[in-house]
Structure 1
């Protein structure tokens, strides 16, 4: 068995980016106990699950006993939070342990959430309740299974202490998660705000080496970096929209340079398709509503472009012109990805001009507000000749019939549709019930059942029908809380 002390971490972030982090250590975990372990991910990372279950492994997963090769740091970043700029955010309750190089050569951060106060804590206690950490584990793994770029969850470890939140004391926990990096738009905002061009340049060079190494050979490598990040984010947001995923807190410090989804706080999946849907308890103005996500992503990317201005050209006006030109490409990148994805969801042949069908579909969805996930899955039945199941999802079936006729005339493939339209997503009421059982009763079985179902979201299985159903019309409005 490989001991934790024998695990080799690399630390290119700490090596290359002095000034963008603070060395720090995790707070003690009085009585650590393993709550969940992602054994498949552990093996992908080259880690021994048996070791991670040992006391030494729990020390690694809580940050309280890390190998000598690790350099634990709290990362610094700034950010626009609900549109308001905060110059100094950073990992207030998290630590970067270091980077693992997987057996297949990929570099992955190991990052601990809920590991205690850091100098960036801004008055918080630095701890995390068990419920939100289980939520992030569950939803991030569901997103991975759905094919969406995402941070992934390696483990949840209970700390043996309670933390106080709005609803009273809750069991404390640490989430160990991985990512191709934790570089954010907010990281670049912080670097730019230092006023030191060397700090910004080192960060940009680090991001290029980490995520887009071929940019280094471009005529304008930093402009090309910007173009690549605009592209990966446009495609990511399109995937969110296809699946009805609502992130809930799209601050610039929650937008990655890698194009991975990060920070599953007030997130949820649509039941009824409604662009105005908001699930975050603190988003009173609906800034981060489902339908606003593409526009917010472009706004965030504009802030990224502003941070890069000193690197784009010696003349500021020319730098702004170049950045603006790249940013204007976001709409085309997003709309292309959106329409390609919806064309696949509708089972339409590649190359077909689906514009009129999509325009009418979006209007229908907004007006009729069917269950988002079930609507697209049950369209497969309509493609096979039985429109009954999908007609049951709309208030006015006659409003759907003309569109169905035009769509079926285009020759959709139900087999292709079943490959991209999930049966199972993390249904909000089921997530809440599972988290309640885990936190209140110490019963992890509902969470484990959900993880099993969500690991195969496209495969409809007998006996799992309740995991595909929404809460129903009498369910109370669903709201999420960030847990800080």
Structure 2
């Protein structure tokens, strides 16, 4: 496979040494049928020129890309629903490659469903095709909404019949590849702390600081934690503004770059419901919609605890205390972006945030989350469109009057975006569970990928319209 000039391999994780991962091999799958290929993402790392045969060789059989050492299953621990688990690690995935993107960032190609590893804990190391389809849809929707997210890079059906307890079985199998800005998790640091390995904490800190937060001075653990806190606050605010529930905010599912990844039982919330959960097994609502900031902060405190081996606890606490103010600041900014208006200052921006949430709460099931941001995109410029649309009955009363006043205080941000054909539709693109299930049903029943492909095209068009 002749590499493109834009392909820049840089496998830096291996600089850490063999105590941080295990060399593994991918499973030998009976079939490799390409179902999704993200050429838009591939172009950013110089891999869009691969032929289909080369793509399948790289991401179905996992023949190493040029100048890449081969797959490694990363070692980490983590809290799962706040219970510590020292038996974690990449159990059905591995780091396949690292390479520089066209924007200079170091990115990972990581897998899901690529076979067993030393950390599989008795599992089969596989991914259901339905799970792969769901991850592609989640990543595409979040990217279109401006949420910091990994990108679904490849989905290949692998021809095995899997038994699962939480969906009809046997079910089809697949292997997914994601393009992500680091798989260094909070749990990667927790493992080193659990083992009492100050040297490993120092090695991880130096590695992650240099590659992902270079603005932090060498050896400055509190400064590194502050950078992770701010990135995590930005991510959490973006989830909330998108009405998104990740579902499983364990410390092995949060990374040091503040980028969302590993989409399992995710959901987009239909309408304002603070207690809305994504995972059927989240019986107490620990990771419910409105508790996500709390969950992320709790996870950050575990990262801070691991860093106590190399830093002063008071300085780490000071860094952690920055999460609340950073989250509120980022939440205001995220709502402004979603509404397509410019900042007017902290007080006015907070009024708009509060009024938007109050209107969504007052609107109940009649006012879905995503349509509000669609109807009122760029504020005053959308007045006629919103007040004459399908939800005009929701746009009256005291809560609406307060929302409209707060919104119209703000200047529209590039109102010419409303000229895009996306905004002539009566309804926005959403990703509610009924549609996700319908897309899967078409694939499952008749191998019809048309709804899946059409949905991705529509999501991308919406993302282009809002950018």
Which residue of structure 1 lines up, in the alignment, with residue 434 of structure 2? 429
Cα RMSD after superposing both structures: 2.7
Which residue of structure 2 lines up, in the alignment, with residue 362 of structure 1? 357
CA distance in 2, matches of 1:411, 1:199: 49
Change in 2 beyond 3 A, CA 1:123/1:390: farther
CA distance in 1, matches of 2:229, 2:27: 37
Q: CA deviation at 1:446?
A: 0.7
Which residue of structure 1 lines up, in the alignment, with residue 309 of structure 2? 310
Is the CA contact (8 Å cut-off) linking 2:109 and 2:178 kept in structure 1?
yes
CA distance in 2, matches of 1:243, 1:185: 24
Q: Name the stretch that deviates more: 297-306 or 16-25.
A: 16-25
Q: CA deviation at 1:367?
A: 3.7
Q: Name the stretch that deviates more: 434-443 or 388-397.
A: 388-397
CA distance in 2, matches of 1:417, 1:256: 37
Q: CA deviation at 1:255?
A: 0.5
Q: CA deviation at 1:227?
A: 0.5
Is the CA contact (8 Å cut-off) linking 1:277 and 1:290 kept in structure 2?
yes
Which residue of structure 2 lines up, in the alignment, with residue 170 of structure 1? 171
Per-residue CA deviation, residues 88-125 of structure 1 (Å, 9 max, x unaligned), is 21110001112123455432211111011111112211
Per-residue CA deviation, residues 175-224 of structure 1 (Å, 9 max, x unaligned), is 0111121111011111111111111111111101210123135xx52111
Q: CA deviation at 1:439?
A: 2.9
Change in 2 beyond 3 A, CA 1:132/1:193: same
Which residue of structure 1 lines up, in the alignment, with residue 334 of structure 2? 341
CA distance in 1, matches of 2:11, 2:410: 53
1:198 maps to 2:195? no
1:186 maps to 2:194? no
SS of corresponding position for 2:397: helix
Per-residue CA deviation, residues 372-418 of structure 1 (Å, 9 max, x unaligned), is 11112223497344463579377694243431453365255385596
Which residue of structure 1 lines up, in the alignment, with residue 208 of structure 2? 207
Is the CA contact (8 Å cut-off) linking 2:352 and 2:403 kept in structure 1?
no
Which residue of structure 1 lines up, in the alignment, with residue 459 of structure 2? 454
Per-residue CA deviation, residues 248-307 of structure 1 (Å, 9 max, x unaligned), is 111111111011101111112111111111121111111111111111111110001001
Number of aligned residue pairs: 448
Change in 2 beyond 3 A, CA 1:443/1:413: same
Q: CA deviation at 1:342?
A: 2.4
Q: Name the stretch that deviates more: 232-241 or 37-46.
A: 37-46
Q: CA deviation at 1:28?
A: 0.6
Which residue of structure 2 lines up, in the alignment, with residue 441 of structure 1? 446
Q: CA deviation at 1:308?
A: 0.5
Q: CA deviation at 1:39?
A: 1.5
Q: CA deviation at 1:460?
A: 7.0
Is the CA contact (8 Å cut-off) linking 1:236 and 1:260 kept in structure 2?
yes
Q: CA deviation at 1:135?
A: 1.2
SS of corresponding position for 2:28: coil
CA distance in 2, matches of 1:104, 1:344: 22
Is the CA contact (8 Å cut-off) linking 1:79 and 1:186 kept in structure 2?
yes
SS of corresponding position for 1:71: coil
Q: Name the stretch that deviates more: 361-370 or 70-79.
A: 361-370
Q: CA deviation at 1:340?
A: 2.5
Out of 47, 58, 61, the position equivalent to 1:60 is 58
SS of corresponding position for 2:226: helix
1:329 maps to 2:327? no
CA distance in 2, matches of 1:458, 1:32: 30
1:12 maps to 2:12? yes
Change in 2 beyond 3 A, CA 1:204/1:430: same
CA distance in 2, matches of 1:135, 1:232: 25
Which residue of structure 1 lines up, in the alignment, with residue 107 of structure 2? 108
Which residue of structure 1 lines up, in the alignment, with residue 47 of structure 2? 47
Is the CA contact (8 Å cut-off) linking 1:348 and 1:410 kept in structure 2?
no
Out of 366, 370, 375, the position equivalent to 2:372 is 375
Is the CA contact (8 Å cut-off) linking 2:417 and 2:465 kept in structure 1?
no
What pairs up with 1:255-294 in 2 under 5 angstroms? Answer: 255-294=254-293
Q: CA deviation at 1:174?
A: 0.3
Is the CA contact (8 Å cut-off) linking 1:391 and 1:397 kept in structure 2?
no
Is the CA contact (8 Å cut-off) linking 2:32 and 2:156 kept in structure 1?
yes
CA distance in 2, matches of 1:3, 1:345: 39
CA distance in 1, matches of 2:214, 2:436: 39
Is the CA contact (8 Å cut-off) linking 1:34 and 1:158 kept in structure 2?
yes
List gaps (5 residues or longer) in structure 1. 313-318, 462-484
Change in 2 beyond 3 A, CA 1:416/1:291: farther
CA distance in 1, matches of 2:393, 2:274: 16
Change in 2 beyond 3 A, CA 1:19/1:50: closer
Which residue of structure 2 lines up, in the alignment, with residue 482 of structure 1? none
TM-score (norm 1): 0.85
Which residue of structure 1 lines up, in the alignment, with residue 344 of structure 2? 350
Change in 2 beyond 3 A, CA 1:231/1:411: closer
CA distance in 1, matches of 2:49, 2:114: 21
Change in 2 beyond 3 A, CA 1:393/1:19: farther
Which residue of structure 2 lines up, in the alignment, with residue 160 of structure 1? 159
Is the CA contact (8 Å cut-off) linking 1:157 and 1:174 kept in structure 2?
yes
Q: CA deviation at 1:141?
A: 2.2
Change in 2 beyond 3 A, CA 1:123/1:403: same
